[in-house]
Structures are given as C-alpha cells and as structure tokens.
Structure 1
Amino acid sequence: MELEGPQKSGAARAAILLLTLGGEGAAKLLKHFSPEEIRTLRQGASQQKPITAVELDAIVADFQDAFRAGPGLIGLDSELSKLLRSSLSSEELALVFDADEAMEGDAGLPVWYEMEQLGAQAITALLLKEHPQVIAYAVQRLKAEVAAQVVASFEGPLRNDVVRRMLSAKPPTEQMSRLIEHRFRESFVSGGNGAERKQRHATLAEIVNRMEKRQTDDLLNAIETSEPEEAKELRKLLFAFEDIPGLPRKSRLLLFDAIPTETVTQSLSGTDETMREAVLSALGARARRMVEAELSRNEAVAATAVQDARRSIAAAALRLSAEGRLDLTERGE
C-alpha cells in the first residue's frame, strides 16, 4: 500500500507506531530507548503533517509484514532471562529462578545475574582472561546497561573484535553454551563472590545488628570456630554502638557530623566515661557544650529511647560504610 505525500522517515514511522499503542504501552517501550533515540523520535514527529487513517493502516501493515519476514527468535531461554532480569526486582528474581533452576538441577540464580552483581569493572577484569569469542557470548547475555559499560571499557582492538563476533558469529550449540556457563559459574560464583553469598551475609548482618552486643559476640565466636572465613566476611557488615570507641577519631568525626544532638544525648545516657569521651570528642565545640549541658541534668531517659538512639547511630555508620565513606574495620590508635 502506498502512502500519501512524501515518504516518511524511519523515526517518523516509529513515532506513529508508538502513538498507536496508547500512553501506557508506549511508556513501557520508551524505557528501553536511549535519550538520543528519543530525541530522534521527537524530531521525526515534529516534521510530520496530520496522518490520515489510510496512512496509519499502511504503516501498521508495513510493520506487520516486516515482523513476519524477520529472522525469528533464537536463544529463547537466555533472552527471556535477560528480559526478566531487567523487569523484576532481586527478590522476585530469586523466587522465579530458585524454582525454575532447581527443576533443571542447577543451584541458585542464573550465572549472568550473578556476574551482573559484581559490577562492570569486576566483570571486565574477569572477561579479559577469556578468548574474544567467549567474551562475546558472555556480553550478549548481560543486561544492556551492564554490557555497554563492559564493552566501552575494552581497548579499541579488543572492543572491535568482540562486537564483530557478536554480529557475525553463529549461536553456540546447547552443549557448548552449558559448558561456557558452567565455567563462569565455577570461576565467578563458586569462588565466593556470588550474589547469593553476599545476600546471605547481608541478611544475616541485618539480623545480628539488631541483637545485643553480648549476643552478637557469642554468635560470631560460634561461627568463627567452624567457618572462620564466613565470620570474617560477616564482621565487615556488623557494627554496634559499643564499637564506637574502637574507631579512629577521623571516622568518629565523619559519623557524628550529621547526627542530631538530641540523638547523641539520648545515646550517651548511662554510658561510662570512655564511651562519652569517644563520642564527645567527635562533636564540634558548640554541639559538645549542648550535649554536656543536657547530660549534666541527669534526667532519666526511657530505655527504649536510649536503644533507638544507639541503633540509629549504628545504622548511620553502616550506611556510610555501604557508601564506601567509612571503614568500620579500621581501628583507632
């Protein structure tokens, strides 16, 4: 069917097809477009005159014809996995893949999801040890945003070689795919850097951080006896208010920089001189005078308020640690 008037550009036709989907459908697709592609769509649409019903039918028919004549689909399992990883939360993914993967005899999440949790820089360092063909296979199975960062970090010759292989190489056999994925799982996941292991540590740390200091120490000592490496990794994620005196002064200054004086005052209720000085020495002169004045009144503070204040400070320390701004394993002089 011939369109009326001058031939429309690809961007204009794409914009028209998006509009036919309605607001909700178009919004879902636009999330996968880059800013440059969206600008191109807008430019294509801005140059168009009103579209007649005949023209609209012709554009939709052309799209349907092109779709029917397309190359079809390959690698359904891996492509669906990529789609799920880009659409579902970590918790939802765990539920989906725990069940599906267990049926196939594989443990845990897909190896590509595990690799994505390492970050682009770590993935790049690991892939550089592999043959370009294996790199191309792996990159194609990562989420687009992660794959883009990885490919961009390669040196020019390797980047060109990998992209060329991605475009021209035939899909590997199912047996070869399983061998490659098994190799990655052994190298990256079983080596102790897997997302599942990190998630276990994070979950356990969140529980332990809510326990009393004495209970925490007993638990860590028990773990250390049988699993010293696990205890070492877990300690990096733990912090209690009672650990503050052990931090260097620069760390304490950073920690208390944004803590309200009321919270500091409540947290110091019933503490000894060592703890008080460790905290007060991390405050500015004005804030220290205010806290000392409040403490000198010796007013009773509810036990729940004291615990809440101390947990709030411990949570702030853990948050700074997660952001990479505070090293909780560093000890004071």
Structure 2
Amino acid sequence: MVTTYVTESRMSQGPQGGAARAAVLLLTLGAPGASKLLKYLSPDEIRAIRQGAVGLEPVSRAQLEQLVEEFQNALKTGPGLSGPAQQMKDLLKNALSPEELATILGDEDVDDHEAAAFDPGSGSVWTDLEKVDREAIIMTLKREHPQVVAVILSKLDPDVATGIVIKLEPVFRHDVMRRMLTVKPLALPVRLLVETQIRQGLLASPEQAGGNRFTMLAEIANRMDKRQTDELLEAIAAVQPKDAVSLKNLLFAFEDIPALPLKSRFVLFDGIPTETVIIALSGAVEDIKNGVLEALGARARRMVEAELAQKNSVPPQDVAAARRLVSKAALRLASEGKIVLREEGAAEEAA
C-alpha cells in the first residue's frame, strides 16, 4: 500500500520519472488489478518499474491524486484516433490469436497471410494432395461423408479429381458430384480445419499419423472430467497397454498437480495470475492445495493462504474455468518443452 505520510516540502514534487510514476499507479491498483496489467508488459518494462520503485519516497494522498489526474489528462489530450478502423484491426490482432480472430470474424479482415499463421504450410495443401498416390486418396475418401468429399474434390485440379471420381462407387459418386454443384466457399475456420485434417491424415508420414491420433484423442480426453479420463485409460490399457502409456503422457488435469515435478510446478505457477490460483484452489483437497502453495513465492503464497482462509464462496463454474486455465497452461508448457508432466517412468508405473 502507498504510504500517505510525506513532508510538506516534498508534497508538490511527487514521483519523478516514467518508471517511478508507473510504479505508483500499479501500487494503487493492488495485486489483483496490477496483475492484469503486468502480464502485458515485457520483462524489461517490469524490471524498469521495479527499479523505479526502489528509490521512491513516501507518497501523500495529494500527490497520488495529482498523479492520477495527470494520467487522466494525458488520455484526454492525446493525439486522438487517426484511423479507428485500422487501429481496431491492429488491436484485435495483438489481443487475439489468429484462430480466435478467424473464429470471431470469419473471413472478414483476415487475409491469406494471417490465415497461414494457423499452419505455415496450409497454402500448398491442395497441391501437395495432388501428388499423393490416387489409391490412397480414394481409400480415404470412401470413408468420408459425401459433403466432405465434394469440398475436397472441388479444390483439386480437374484431371486429378476425375481420376478419383471414376473410381468411386456409382451411388456414392453421383451423390458427391451432385453436392459439388452446390459447394460454397468455406468460412476460414472451417477451411483451415479441413486443410489441417488433410495434412495430418493423407499428407503425414505413418509415424506422424500415429502421433496425431494420440494428440487428437488426448485433446478430447483433456476436456473430459477426471473420472471419465481414468475410465478411458483403463479401457485402453486392458487391450493396448503401450498405447495407454503413450496417451497418459499427453494428459493432464488439475487434480494431477501433486504428481507434477516441483521444478515444473515452479515454472507453471510463475505464469498463472494469483487471482486465478485463488479461484482454482477454492474447495480443492489439501493435497492439491499443498502442491500449489509449495510452488509459489513467499508473497504470493501469503496472499493465497489469506484469501483461502476467508472461505469465500466461489461459483462452481468459475472454479472449473480457473482449473481449466491451469491445465491448459501446463499442457502448453509441456508441448513447448518447458516442463515435464511426470517424472521419468511414472507413467509406466501408473499404467
């Protein structure tokens, strides 16, 4: 908390320098508010603000009010908005991932360069598909819905499409070609999904295709509750023990935190806002609470313990959402090689 005592001689001066002034403004917001802003700052900016706070004298209420007023005036007297439409587009690009942007806006304001951000090779997927063995394509398309086949064939060179169509069963072929007459351009998210599935299925090597099957199943299982996931692993382990181990290595739920190596927990919770941790731990068993608290810094740990001691009621949907955020962060960090979800050999023993 900002100290309100200051001598009269210093009262009019107030904090000097941008970093010092920013530090004061962040302190007035408190930990919950400041944490929302800090995650948007670079490490260098955070270090500069921290350094700016080191030499700060106590700040009076009058100085604080003056600083806030200057901040508000700076917003009022700014240069205005030179191009709102483009500025909004740039803002959305910076705030949202390409996938989120495409899902919300569809093809609007999303050019081909931005679409390629989903998959760097997606622009040539149809050309690559035309080079695949025809029989392999035909065998795959026979198992697909006619509408999917119609979309794929409409993207191929006519000579290639003809070589595929004539090998299809007559009834299936006629249904596909009838649907080709009414095929409409796909919305960007749908088109990218189709192209991704083609890359992972028809264009992937056998090794990649096998890995993709596990990845896709893991993405589904990670969205199920813990009980359902455990039942799935038991069912697979009964007939395919090695596959169960491979799948388990890709799974992580909030309830798995105690099994997460301590070093990995440090990395994980270093990037989770304290307020999210507090909500996620609401109603958690002691084993999970201890596993999380052990990985927090002294200050963050005291804050979390103080909040949990108040036993505030938190809506179940908020608790579930916070826990999903923690799980997603763990899976993302694991995919980036920054943490390991289990100690070496732990998955095999569990299976």
TM, length-normalised to structure 2:
0.42
Higher relative contact order (CA 8 A, sep 6+): 2
